[in-house]
Amino acid sequence: MKLVVSTRGSKLSLKQVELFKSYINKFVNVDLEIKVVKTKGDIIQDKPLYSIGEKGLFEKEVNNTVLKGEADIAVHSMKDLPKDIDPRLDIIMVLPREIPNDSLIFSKNVVDDLEKIPEGSIVGTSSMRRKSFLMHYNDKVIIKPLRGNIDTRIKKLNNNEYDYIILAESGIRRLGLDPKRIILPLDIFPPEPGQGIIAIVGIKDNSNVKTISNYTDKLTHYMAIAEREFLKEAKAGCSSPLGAVSIIHDDKIVIITGLASFDGKFMEIVRFKDYLNNAEKLGKKAGEFVYSIIDKVLK
């Protein structure tokens, strides 16, 4: 089977296509043709993502290539997908999840806890969630916007433009990097919903796409359902300082949600638990709870 794959051109995006190929070829022989697409998020590098005020900055152009029939599937980091994608499309399958945590990266000043970052240190992130969560634990730091691919961000850190930066651990591992870092616990720093999950998007009635959907990773599928439903019910966007991540234990699924005020003075972390088969119901419950308090927190 031959599939044309739409993707961004970053090292991480291309690595994720490679990971998809390695995974799917364990089950069925697939030959991939890669079509690289530049997105608005790739072009605009001088602003934090939350300040652009537009959904799907790393998704729209890639998925449009599929809709126009120029590609069969699109490969995404699930955290880049907005809560609603084009109704003609579907998340066809997911790969086994990589570790979903964020990590605090440093080159010189070693710490083992967010609260121990020295006063006045410059921390790089363009995520409102990471900014607000960090401010909750340490309001003595200076937060400076940080854009670019993972290599570029780490290079800026090593060039002393920042004292610390925060990145997704999954991207670091997929690229085979090993900077000095600490992994931030899920129950104090919940990540972006879908972080660590590679999602394959395609047109619903494409026969080739239906074939590969049979090989979705079952446990990751449940986690994706819970976290996508959470996003939908919380009515959250990239400017909302909230996170959510699900964990599976035997036949139970737990979703950890975190919501902070923009200045970090308030932060609420709540766990929800249900049977695995109720993953969608659990995500809905968690999202409804966050939506019920979000206006009070963000006012």
Does the annotation count 80 as an active-site position? yes
User: Active site residue: 8, 79, 131, 284, which one?
Assistant: 79
Catalytic residue among 130, 131, 174, 228: 130
Q: How far apart are CA 191 and CA 244, in angstroms?
A: 6
Catalytic residue from among 35, 147, 210, 232: 147
79 is catalytic: yes
Among the listed residues 60, 153, 228, 284, the single catalytic one is: 153
Catalytic residue status for 174: no
Which residue among the candidates 8, 97, 129, 131 is catalytic per the annotation?
129
Residues 6 or more apart whose Cβ sits within 8 Å of residue 277: none
CA 169, CA 181: separation in Å to the nearest integer? 9
173 part of the active site: no
Catalytic, out of 8, 83, 163, 238: 238
The catalytically annotated residue of 8, 60, 80, 228 is 80
Question: What percent of the chain is helix, strand and coil (3-state, nearest 5)?
Answer: 35, 25, 40
Q: How many C-beta atoms lie closer than 10 Å to residue 77's C-beta?
A: 24
Task: Sheet with 73-77: list strands edge to edge.
Answer: 31-36, 2-7, 73-77, 198-203, 89-94
Give the residue among 6, 46, 2 at the shortest CA–CA distance from 24.
2
Contact residues for 30 (Cβ-Cβ < 8 A; gap 6+): 1, 2, 3, 21, 24, 212
Contact 223, 96 (CB under 8 A): no
| 207 SS3 class | helix
Cα–Cα–Cα angle for 129, 253, 91, nearest 5°? Answer: 70
**Catalytic-residue membership of 8:** no
Of 22, 23, 29, 41, the closest CA to residue 3 belongs to 29
d(CA 167, CA 116) in angstroms, rounded, equals 18
Is residue 181 part of the annotated active site? The answer reads no
The catalytic residue positions are 79-80, 129-130, 147, 153, 238
